[in-house]
Structure 1
Amino acid sequence: MSNKPFVLLGKEIPKGKRTVLDLEVAKLHTRTTVKVPVIIERSHNPGPVVLLLAGIHGDETNGVGIIREIISLGINKPKNGTIICIPVFNIFGYLIQTREFPDGRDLNRMFPGTANGSLASQFAYQFTKEIAPFIDYVIDFHTGGGERDNIAQIRCNKDDDKGLELAKVFNPPIIVYSNNIIKSLRETLHKMGKTVLLFEGGKSKELNPTIINEGVNGTKNVLIHLGLIEGEITVRETPIYVKKAKWLRASHSGMFKVRVANGSYVKKKDVLGVIQDPFGEFKKKVYAPFNGHVFCTNKTPIVNKGDALFHVSIEE
């Protein structure tokens, strides 16, 4: 393994050096080439290849902030193996702060992609062919969509023993059992035999220091555990396992106030929030229908009937 050259995107990656490659996506209609920087740190010693990836949805800036901090602190310089960082995957969406690709598609529903499909599908195909085969482990950083605010959590499949072991090492406040979504990056990598952790934290279009801190600490734990870097694993708390969960939805449309802290344990009939009309005529309380942990809250000031307000674990 140590003597075999490590080739990525057609270039040999030298040992003990930082290499920055560009994953070329396409040209804009102004003929400007859009390139996704891929930052590779390869040690002199053999070891696993770990990919840290963020910004698959262009407006999910917390993940970008986590990888930026990891690079800034030098955590991505391994003693053994190789660490690849892609801080901004969907560079199109990142530039204009939208979730989607310019073709309106969700990149995380386009894997493994096709050579001649839509722009998003071609990009997914390029990643699946050029990068995915050469990695062993992936941490994929996400946030809640829109105004949905996630407590820091790792999502993984209940049958993925290696993933669950690493999730525990990551040591987030919450570990959510979550099935792989069809055509997602996680499903494609899982089928290729890779171990994938999906981190969720905060909401889109924000840089939340608490979430960034959780992401950096957890990643560091995983890299220490896999033997890529040296250090002590920090265990702050025992993660709560969410095996089943339910979205609580708005019974009315109106102005919405959250009355419960994200991540807290609630009991049946606790008031979680209030929906009121702008004219001072009605006020509807949102009650917890059962005991559980709130791990996502909707921070939007205005809700419509049926909107998802709280994601709550169903305690067994």
Structure 2
Amino acid sequence: MQSNNIEVLGHAISNGKGVQLNLDIAKLHTRTKIQVPVIVERAKKDGPTVLITAGIHGNEINGVEIVRQLIARKWNKPEAGMVICIPVVNVFGFLNQKRQFPDGRDLNRVFPGSPRGSLASRFAFHIIKEIVPLVDYCMDFHTGGDGRFNVPQIRVDQEDLESIELAKIFAAPFIVKSGQRDKSFRHALHRLHKKVLLFEGGKSLDINESVTKSGLAGALRVIKHLGIRDFTKELGMLSPKPGNSVMVTKSSWIRAKYSGMFHPSVSLGSRVEKGDVLGSISDPFGYFERHIKARFSGYVLCINQSPIVNQGDGILHITKD
């Protein structure tokens, strides 16, 4: 909750004001500063504070696009409480179109960080120290990686009942109850008793309109539910309309038994039954082709869209009934 005086990154934010700040805590070997824009909007009326982040992995562009549209449409301006947006957490990874932080580390594997650790660890430490204490809720936007296209989904801890209810409000097609990954941003916030919704949708180095609309609509529903701003009109114009999310407690990857050219024959989010043909793997010369069949029934959460796969690669991620 807010008080009369709120300080963000050393700047006082008064009621009804907005400001763009820079999280500036490190330099590269060229002495170039790592500056991460932090966009803060505070209402005149008190209320919850929500943090909206994307680009923790620098090549996950679709999440950045969702937060960008929230800001561009001025939907980050609250009627109550405060909204803090960090559209690109890993700015240098974004510039280089790489997943990793400039020191080669995965930023989402070093939280809560350390003031004397690696470059990524120091950066994580300052986010946890300077931004996270101000917030009550967080929506963190991600995509699939390495050509893997994820159906829009919200990932929450299966023991966190309030976050599960918020995930239902978000109304992505799927809600995945998943365990906490050690040293991830979500895990660090969970340990600080912050409520976190992690959105997954699309694939790296790609912008998909359907995924963007799903993420935008879900964010507006949550912000409206928290009493931060009424988006009834805006939600009426957005598609897709909310349906009943499929709750996922178990899932498994189908892995390639052979190396070759991969031809999926099912669509994201579709229901498959045990024994259904999911696709095929063939050689490039026309001599070899093997069908891939479902070993169990469920929904397709992710499809590997790489045209060439190696033996053992994950090619389809499917829920398990």
Q: TM-score, normalised by structure 1?
A: 0.98
* Alignment match, 1:286: 292
Answer yes or no: is 1:260 the counterpart of 2:270: no
Q: Select between 255-264 and 224-233 the one with higher mean Cα deviation.
A: 224-233
Q: Is the 8 A contact 1:25 1:36 kept in 2?
A: no
* Alignment match, 2:204: 204
* Alignment match, 1:307: 313
SS where residue 218 of structure 1 aligns?
Answer: helix
Amino acid at match of 2:170: F
Amino acid at match of 2:113: G
Aligned in 2, Cα 1:4/1:14: closer, same or farther, shift over 3 Å?
closer
1:1-316 matches, cutoff 5 A: 3-232=3-232, 236-315=242-321
Q: Is the 8 A contact 2:272 2:294 kept in 1?
A: yes
Measured against aligned partners, the alpha-carbon deviations of 1:272-299 in whole angstroms (never above 9, x if no partner) come to 1110011211101111111100010000
Amino acid at match of 1:186: R
Q: Is the 8 A contact 2:2 2:81 kept in 1?
A: no
Amino acid at match of 1:229: R
SS where residue 58 of structure 1 aligns?
Answer: coil
Q: Is the 8 A contact 1:62 1:143 kept in 2?
A: yes
Q: Following TM superposition, by how much is the alpha carbon of 1:32 offset from its aligned partner in structure 2, in angstroms?
A: 2.3
Q: Is the 8 A contact 2:54 2:142 kept in 1?
A: yes
Unaligned runs of 5+ in 1: none
Q: Following TM superposition, by how much is the alpha carbon of 1:3 offset from its aligned partner in structure 2, in angstroms?
A: 4.7
Q: Is the 8 A contact 2:2 2:49 kept in 1?
A: no
- Tell me the percent identity: 50
SS where residue 77 of structure 2 aligns?
Answer: coil
Alpha-carbon RMSD across the aligned residues, in angstroms, is: 1.1
SS where residue 104 of structure 1 aligns?
Answer: coil
Q: Is the 8 A contact 1:174 1:242 kept in 2?
A: yes
1:73 and 1:209 map into 2 onto residues whose CA distance is 16
1:79 and 1:178 map into 2 onto residues whose CA distance is 33
Unaligned runs of 5+ in 2: none
Matched pairs, number:
315
Q: Is the 8 A contact 1:2 1:45 kept in 2?
A: no
SS where residue 16 of structure 2 aligns?
Answer: coil
Q: Following TM superposition, by how much is the alpha carbon of 1:2 offset from its aligned partner in structure 2, in angstroms?
A: 5.7
SS where residue 114 of structure 2 aligns?
Answer: coil
**Runs of 4+ in structure 1 displaced over 6 angstroms?**
none
Aligned in 2, Cα 1:15/1:298: closer, same or farther, shift over 3 Å?
same
2:110 and 2:159 map into 1 onto residues whose CA distance is 24
